[in-house]
Amino acid sequence: MALHDKARWLVALPIATRAAFLTDLSAAEKEVLRYHWDIWSRPEQRAPAGDWRLWLILAGRGFGKSRSGAEWVREVAKSEPAARIALVGASLPEARAVMVEGESGLIACCPPSARPLYEASLRRVTWPNGAQAFLYSAAEPESLRGPQHSHAWCDEIAKWDQASERAVRAWDNLQMGLRLGQRPRILATTTPRAVPLLRQVLSSEHEADVVVTRGSTYANALNLPPSFLSAMRKQFGDTALGRQELNGELLEEAEGALWSRGLIEKNRRAFSGEPMVRVVVGVDPPASARGDECGIIVAGLTDSGVGMVLADASVAKATPERWAQAVASAALAWKADRVVAEANQGGKMVESVLRVADCQMPIKLVHASHGKVARAEPIAALYETGRVHHVGQFPKLEDQLCGLMAGGTYEGPGRSPDRADAMVWALTELMLTSLARPRVRQL
C-alpha cells in the first residue's frame, strides 16, 4: 500500500489501532507522515474542489489560517514547478515573520528534503523543483504593478493599510498581474474587520468561481491550550470583540452610528514619529467607588494639527486609588502636559484623588453640560475629515465609539461608553478648545 493511501486509511482507524500502526512504521515513513497535511488538517483547511479562482478563509484567531495558506502554497509549488506565487502581507516584516519563517509558515511546513530557500535580499522563496514565491507589502501597492504571477496568498487582508485606499489598490494590482499559467488562483486568509477591501471581496461571494470558508477559534480546539480557550471565553464571551476575533463574524455597522469600523480603519496609522506639540490624558471617572470602568485615554496633537489617539489605559472595577494611579502612570509615561477629567461625578474629589496619586501636571476639571453623544459629534466630524488617527488597535474603545448613535443613544458594550467619553474629552481639549496665547498688542 502506498504511503498516501495508508494516510487516508489511518485517519479512519480507532485511536488504539492507529497507535499500533504508527509503532510499526520505519523512521523514514514517520518523517514523511509528519508532513502529510491530509492527516493533520481539518476538511475546512484544505483547498476546495472545483474550478475556483478565489478562496477566502474568514475565521477567528487560532483557526489555522496561516497553516492552511502555507500548506496550499506548498502544494502548488510541489505540483507546478513553473509556479510564480505572490506572498502579500500587511508589511514585508509581517510577510517574512508569518508567511515564510513563522511556526506555521512555508519553511516549517515543508519536509527537509523539499524545504525552500529563502533569500531575504531578493524577497524570494525558491523550491528545489524551481517553483518560486515573492514577498510583497500591501502598504506598497505600486510594487504589485507589473509583476506577473500564477498564484497568490494574501494574509490578513482586513489588516492591510486602509489609508489612501492602499489596500484596495494593492488587491487590484495583484489581480491584474495574475495572468500566468492555465488557472491563476488566489487564497486570502483573514480575521474579519468591516473594512472596504473585505467588503469588496465578499461582494463576489456568490459568484461561481469564489469559495468562502468560515470558522472560529474553537474549531481548532484540539491544537490550542485549554487554558487559552477558557480564558478567551471568560474574558470576551459574546462581546463584539469576541464575536469578531474569536468567532470570525463580520460585524455589521450599526445604522446611524457616529463612527463606523470602516471610518476608524481608514484613519488608523502607524506611529510616524512626528513631534507632538501637546499630549493630554482624558479621564471619565466611574460614578462610584467600585464603578464599572474608568475611561483613561491618551491623545496627542501633532505639529501639523492632526489628533492622535495614542493609548487606552482604562481600568475596570477599580478603587479611586487604583484608577488615579493608572492616570498618573499614563501621564508620566507619555509626558502629558495636562489631565482633563470630567468632574460631574465627585467634583473636587476627582482632583484630590489624582493629587494623592502623585499626578504632578495641571489638572483641568470639565463639566458635562450635554450628553455623551452630543459631546462626541464634533469629534466624529474630525474623523470624517481625516484629522484624527488611531495609532494602533484599541478594540474596546472602538466598540464603544461604534455604539454611539446620532439620535443620542448608546448601543455599544457595557452600560456607558466610558473610554469613548474619555477620548472625547482629550480630543476636545486638544482640537476644539482655544487656548489663551500671549500676544503683542498694537497701540
- Strand 388-391, strand 268-269: pairing: parallel
Q: Please tell me the predicted confidence (pLDDT) of residue 359.
A: 63
Decide if 25-215 and 261-431 have a common fold. no
**The three three-digit cell numbers of residue 215, written as one number:** 470558522
**What is the reported pTM?**
0.68
Q: Please tell me the predicted confidence (pLDDT) of residue 248.
A: 92
Q: Which residue has the higher pLDDT, 363 or 303?
A: 303
What integer best gives the mean pLDDT of the chain? 87
Domain 25-215: which topology? Rossmann fold (3.40.50)
Show the 3-state SS of the chain: CCHHHHHHHHHCCCHHHHHHHHHHCCHHHHHHHHCCHHHHCCHHHCCCCCCCCEEEEEECCCCCHHHHHHHHHHHHHHHCCCCEEEEEECCHHHHHHHHHCCCCCHHHHCCHHHCCEEEHHHCEEECCCCCEEEEEECCCHHHHCCCCECEEEEECHHHCCCHHHHHHHHHHHHHHCECCCCCCEEEEEECCCCCHHHHHHHCCCCCCCEEEEEECHHHHHHHCCHHHHHHHHHHHCCCHHHHHHCCCCCCCCCCCECCCHHHHHHCEECCCCCCEEEEEEEEECCCCCCCCEEEEEEEEEECCCCEEEEEECCEECCCHHHHHHHHHHHHHHCCCCEEEEECCCCCHHHHHHHHHCCCCCCEEEECCCCCHHHHHHHHHHHHHCCCEEEECCCHHHHHHHCCEECCCCECCCCCCCHHHHHHHHHHHHHHCCCCCCCCCCCC
For residue 84, list its beta bridge partners: 132
Q: Which residue has the higher pLDDT, 237 or 9?
A: 237
Q: Please tell me the predicted confidence (pLDDT) of residue 349.
A: 65
Looking at the structure, give the CATH architecture of the domain made up of residues 261-431: 2-Layer Sandwich (3.30)
* Structure confidence by residue, pLDDT tens digits, 362-376: 888 888 767 788 889
The Cα 204–Cα 200 span in angstroms is 7
* Structure confidence by residue, pLDDT tens digits, 113-136: 889 999 999 999 999 999 999 999
Sorted by where each begins, the domain ranges of the chain are 25-215, 261-431
pLDDT at 3 over 50: no
* Structure confidence by residue, pLDDT tens digits, 16-33: 887 787 787 777 777 777
Q: Which residues contact 358 (CB under 8 A, 6 or more apart)?
A: 328
* Structure confidence by residue, pLDDT tens digits, 402-442: 989 987 788 888 788 999 999 999 999 999 985 434 444 45
The Cα 423–Cα 280 span in angstroms is 10
